[in-house]
Amino acid sequence: MKIKIIYPGKIKNSFAKEGFEEYVKRCGRFYKIEVIELPSSRSKNKEKVVEEESERLKKVLTNSKYVLLDVDGKEKSTDEFANMIREYTDRGSDLVFVIGGVFGVNEEIKKNAGMRISLSKLTFTHSLSLLILAEQLYRSIKIVHNQPYDH
């Protein structure tokens, strides 16, 4: 099984980038991890940013089923998240996570998502969302493989 994490923009905070890379590396002991960082839009217009970045995402996603991190998505507990990882592992299916840019994604990207999940009712920066996703992936993978979480 392969896990892909796709997002536009860069991780701007060094602490978030270091944490994200560390958790991705840890996840890589169990699954092949592919991180696809797409260019962010340079437009100052919010709607244009969403459309440009969504088009870039669409080109990379092709016909893939994906999990969209979305503020309006369903919240999952860590155990529910781990069960989702377990289901993909058991099927041998690749798992693709998409995080939109700072203004989110267009309706087409939302509509075509196989699943939409929210990390929290709280609002996080783009960089922190990526870090939280990577940490929860690692925690869930450890649960799936019946291993203690490294504190």
Question: pTM of the prediction?
Answer: 0.94
* pLDDT reported for residue 149: 84
Q: Return d(Cα 136, Cα 8) in angstroms, integer.
A: 20
Report helix, strand or coil for 145: coil
CATH superfamily entry for domain 2-144: SPOUT methyltransferase, trefoil knot domain (3.40.1280.10)
Q: Among positive and negative, which fits the CA dihedral 54, 58, 61, 67?
A: positive
| Nearby residues of 124 by Cβ (< 8 Å), 6 or more positions away | 132
pLDDT tens by residue, 130-148? 999 999 999 999 999 999 9
Report, as an integer, the average pLDDT of 108-135: 95
* pLDDT reported for residue 151: 59
pLDDT tens by residue, 27-63? 999 999 999 999 999 999 999 999 999 999 999 997 7
CB 15 within 8 A of CB 130: no
* pLDDT reported for residue 61: 94
